[in-house]
Structure 1
């Protein structure tokens, strides 16, 4: 219950945000839902006058505007199939149209249940003028007639409502194009029009929220001990869906299988397992929906969410170092070789994390939650951790300063390449391990496996590191940009275990590191000797995969191919030849063999190449001669 309690407390701490409209990056609106409210995608908007007459109707073509905040009851929020359970105000055409049967409908019960419920609200002490106006219009039972007159709905030759459009009727009207299936499933939302004043849309009006909440609270009974809050409150067995989006039917809490194996041998009814109050369920689920819209990351319907109960911004575990801090090793023309070592980055990153921590209370905790559904009806909590802020930020700093390398694959808002030092995002790690064409199912699986490595300090799974190493060691099979990105991410993963610096370690006598240095020198030597228009791969790059498996034998082939390029470069070629001799002399006799290289050779390759290009021109760090 701890995740439910933390979501409940998040709602309590952010109640001032209830009903306030916010926007995502795609301009789609969302809000922290009031209790007893949910969202629904509307197809049609109907305006009525204050005195209860039809005024105007229009089809909602903009999907960003279609998501509508509506009041709901326990029964309506969990209705399915042929179950009759009307929403209190906005609902499908079959519920809200009193003349549906007169135009070909077969059953009248949906409307009778709907209008009775709406009438109770309109005539209660908690009603307001807008509810009364809508009720006064709908009880006249002429909605379909008015929609036909307005050119929204159409009748056939027998005067019956055309349920599904046929090409024999001509071009398909807007509503029939918008609604999937029969027209009776059209979801209608209502609002009130006044010629004298501008009225707030019904689904955006806080007074409407309060009106229904007060009306519905009087119907709640059946008090029991709430396992979330520890109080005796009206309980519920029906819990919210639409957690990830307005069309999501999967539930986190469900107990409707009383005839199966759910209670056999243990309980006779679901409330004996756990009792959750209506208030706690509503607030926890609404907080979860709000947080997912606000800061959740969704990959193939799997939700990755990090939040702090007070609603303060906290860095996510799925982001890379640049997303979290925007630390740029090349800012203000600084030389990263001197001014942005691992130690310098660690200090700067820690300062950035201190900035986040200063906005949190002393007792603040961080929640990490992963959700997914295997079926359309059930959703599961795949991963959950609640950590003290000090522990969370300590582990986050450790991850970003140990799984760190120099990366050049990011682009700014102007689509210009930028460089950053630090850890890659979990999604980019999936890119390095499985390639850009990996399915979302594979990507979300890797992201979930990486969470304990970041949050709990566990080792990176060996298969992920090996996969990234294998792809980085085979540049011929990849495009240049893809290989460069894979290479730097693979170096970061390997560095997490080895603890090397980006700066070239000339005193390092590790066999694999030295072989990597030799390969980098060969690559730079040949690249500098090629004509500017010659954009082919060097022999070092072409043989890199074979070199990683049989370094001694392959090095002989690569070194032999370097002779003409050394001659072409003249004195500079002599410098590279002497550098090769210097590095090779550090290899022990018994180490010069064909035993496959570990990931350390990539670190030696990257650092040596980086060092050579630094010396060539510090203003074009990392750029090769094309």
Structure 2
């Protein structure tokens, strides 16, 4: 874990020029949540803006329609406050700056007084808040809602403000100076003044070094920041201030015996991690995966979770969607796994790879409880190793896949266009193939998190691809009738998607067993599972051809599709049943000579005793099934026939 902390500190230093610069989204809106925060600062939700002059006299107040997130200075204690009294350093809730709670307003004024010095803006705010007129000023400005007043009235018949409802409203200040208006939450000078004040107030007199950076400690961090991951706001990565529980008690007498972390170093590390998660986090429930480069440019375009098409698009900087669509329509599959190899080897436009980072970090965080966040996976790799691992994954796990990209038609309307490519599925695709779609239940999210972690371990931790994952995906793909749409009808598209992804996983599994399964049909392969898969495909296409000839295509699933689940469990006996069911369809196709000849050719490839073996099939049979389907499709595209005596069908 020390390596993680050191890399975060190094990244923060290299990105120092970006500290405090508010990020702007595509629509031009400021997004403070994705801003790299200065040390000693936090994001703060404010809804009330109070404007005063340089003498601390009230000018006006306004209220936003919704909460505005700003960057505000804070103390170590106030950043993690949940109860008790702990004032922020400048902008705070009405509870602290309004005359509601005497103890809290006194704490705020004391905190502001400790660093305001001769700074005119801070002195103006101090003077105004000390006057304790804010509540009257806000009431006269009529910024409170009707729902924030009590139903009962006072002796004059007027409704009283319900202070319990408004005390947590955040307040920010604008100071109207002689020559300009200072929005204190945006002032670089005030941010630097607060940082200087923190750095000069060293409270640690012992001679010790920081456990994260190895530098001399100036101020020990007694509380570490929370809200590192917005999905688990209260979870802390480091916690050492528990004097009543068992964070360090039982092993050490006091906190500093357990760990010593400098406050400034803790701030840098946590601010950097928070920024990385906000900008690059790939989240599922409480788990987040983040990948970054230890460099000024932290973005890693080669995302671990992407499918091959998205991976290549990010790396190659494709200018338009038409560039991707080119050469991939009409059933033609562009081999993006091969394109990625060429990129790594320096062919084509490999500028991004050549200028990549020296070191790349991959970290997975999860929160086991509401207050504790843990590091569950971490790797740091040189740039070449990182890219080679990903490209090897995309090569070994490649198969014929289809993605959908949004385009605009000639009328300017959005339409989805299928993109056929050879490559690896994304993490989300794999979760779909293994577990199906989410129905909002917690157990699904747990399975999803475990799967993503396993896939990362396979990519970068030299772990074998889990056999149980392949088996589960194969079980789902072998049950086509379990894929239903919202209307309760058979969803062929979802099933075909799951089948293709399962074939990709199966190829990966066999590749690590030192057995290469070709993408295209292997007519010489004599493996029992592969051959039974081919037989199932022939039966399916034979019936489909007959239905096409009778103008009944797409009216119902074929018998091969319906019996697929039973076929995997008892292939020999189920094939006998299925073969008998093909009799009327063979008659419709005048004997279906092409298909019957193909069945005979497959049967002679079985080794002695394999055909009669009625034991369950391995996932390899799906590769035989899909490869035979692929061969039919290629023949159909080449011949352009219409499903007559030879049995081909037009799709």
Q: Per-residue deviation at 1:529?
A: 2.5
- Whether contact under 8 Å (1:337, 1:503) holds in the other structure is no
Match of 2:198 among 194, 211, 216: 216
Aligned to 1:16: 17
Tell me, what secondary structure is at the counterpart of 1:536?
A: coil
Partners of 1:411 and 1:41 lie apart in 2 by 37
Tell me, what secondary structure is at the counterpart of 2:217?
A: strand
Assess, with a 3 A threshold, how the Cα gap between structure 1 residues 624 and 256 changes in structure 2: closer, same or farther: farther
Partners of 2:418 and 2:332 lie apart in 1 by 19
Q: Please give the per-residue CA displacement for 1:463-515, whole angstroms capped at 9, x wherever unaligned.
A: 21111010001001112222112111111111002232221111211111111
Match of 2:602 among 583, 592, 612: 583
Q: TM-score, normalised by structure 1?
A: 0.87
**1:514 and 2:531 correspond:** yes
Partners of 2:638 and 2:566 lie apart in 1 by 32
- Counterparts in 2 of 1:318-467, with a 5 A limit? 318-326=305-313, 331-332=326-327, 340=335, 346-347=341-342, 355-361=351-357, 364-412=358-406, 414-437=415-438, 439-467=444-472
Assess, with a 3 A threshold, how the Cα gap between structure 1 residues 616 and 248 changes in structure 2: closer, same or farther: same
**1:481 and 2:519 correspond:** no
- Whether contact under 8 Å (1:399, 1:457) holds in the other structure is no
Assess, with a 3 A threshold, how the Cα gap between structure 1 residues 564 and 13 changes in structure 2: closer, same or farther: same
Match of 1:140 among 119, 131, 138: 131
- Counterparts in 2 of 1:164-179, with a 5 A limit? 166=151
Assess, with a 3 A threshold, how the Cα gap between structure 1 residues 322 and 25 changes in structure 2: closer, same or farther: farther
- Whether contact under 8 Å (2:229, 2:274) holds in the other structure is yes
Tell me, what secondary structure is at the counterpart of 1:233?
A: coil
Partners of 1:321 and 1:273 lie apart in 2 by 46
**1:540 and 2:526 correspond:** no
Aligned to 1:549: 569
Q: Per-residue deviation at 1:278?
A: 1.4
What's the RMSD between the two structures over aligned residues? Answer: 3.2
Partners of 1:408 and 1:624 lie apart in 2 by 21
- Which is further off, 112-121 or 537-546? 112-121
Aligned to 1:317: 304
Aligned pair count?
594
- Whether contact under 8 Å (2:45, 2:69) holds in the other structure is yes
Partners of 1:135 and 1:591 lie apart in 2 by 88
Q: Please give the per-residue CA displacement for 1:142-186, whole angstroms capped at 9, x wherever unaligned.
A: 11101111112379xxxxxx97755999xxx9x99xx9x732122
- Whether contact under 8 Å (1:341, 1:502) holds in the other structure is no
- Counterparts in 2 of 1:92-103, with a 5 A limit? 92-97=93-98, 99-100=99-100
Aligned to 1:103: none
Q: Per-residue deviation at 1:451?
A: 1.3
Assess, with a 3 A threshold, how the Cα gap between structure 1 residues 391 and 41 changes in structure 2: closer, same or farther: same
**1:496 and 2:479 correspond:** no
Q: Per-residue deviation at 1:62?
A: 3.6
Partners of 1:117 and 1:368 lie apart in 2 by 39
Aligned to 1:108: 102
- Whether contact under 8 Å (2:36, 2:272) holds in the other structure is yes
Partners of 1:52 and 1:376 lie apart in 2 by 42
Greater RCO structure (CA 8 Å; 6+ sep): 1
Tell me, what secondary structure is at the counterpart of 2:115?
A: helix
Q: Per-residue deviation at 1:533?
A: 5.5
- Whether contact under 8 Å (2:308, 2:336) holds in the other structure is no
- Whether contact under 8 Å (1:32, 1:286) holds in the other structure is yes
Partners of 1:95 and 1:130 lie apart in 2 by 18
- Could you list the runs of 5+ residues in structure 2 that have no partner in the other structure? 317-322, 408-414, 484-490, 511-515, 641-647
Q: Per-residue deviation at 1:189?
A: 2.1
Q: Please give the per-residue CA displacement for 1:110-156, whole angstroms capped at 9, x wherever unaligned.
A: 101111221333224xx3x433333332222111101111112379x
Partners of 2:340 and 2:6 lie apart in 1 by 37
Assess, with a 3 A threshold, how the Cα gap between structure 1 residues 142 and 395 changes in structure 2: closer, same or farther: same
Q: Per-residue deviation at 1:60?
A: 3.1
Partners of 2:559 and 2:633 lie apart in 1 by 18
- Whether contact under 8 Å (2:226, 2:234) holds in the other structure is yes
Partners of 2:615 and 2:280 lie apart in 1 by 47
Partners of 1:606 and 1:502 lie apart in 2 by 9
Q: Per-residue deviation at 1:432?
A: 0.9
- Counterparts in 2 of 1:161-200, with a 5 A limit? 166=151, 182-193=165-176, 197=180, 199=181
- Counterparts in 2 of 1:56-75, with a 5 A limit? 56-62=60-66, 66-75=68-77
Q: Please give the per-residue CA displacement for 1:214-257, whole angstroms capped at 9, x wherever unaligned.
A: 22222233153111221113122221111012981211111122
Partners of 1:329 and 1:465 lie apart in 2 by 30
Partners of 1:329 and 1:521 lie apart in 2 by 33
- Which is further off, 518-527 or 49-58? 49-58
Q: Per-residue deviation at 1:80?
A: 2.5
Assess, with a 3 A threshold, how the Cα gap between structure 1 residues 262 and 134 changes in structure 2: closer, same or farther: closer
- Whether contact under 8 Å (1:335, 1:618) holds in the other structure is no
Aligned to 2:486: none
- Whether contact under 8 Å (1:298, 1:304) holds in the other structure is yes
Q: Per-residue deviation at 1:452?
A: 0.5
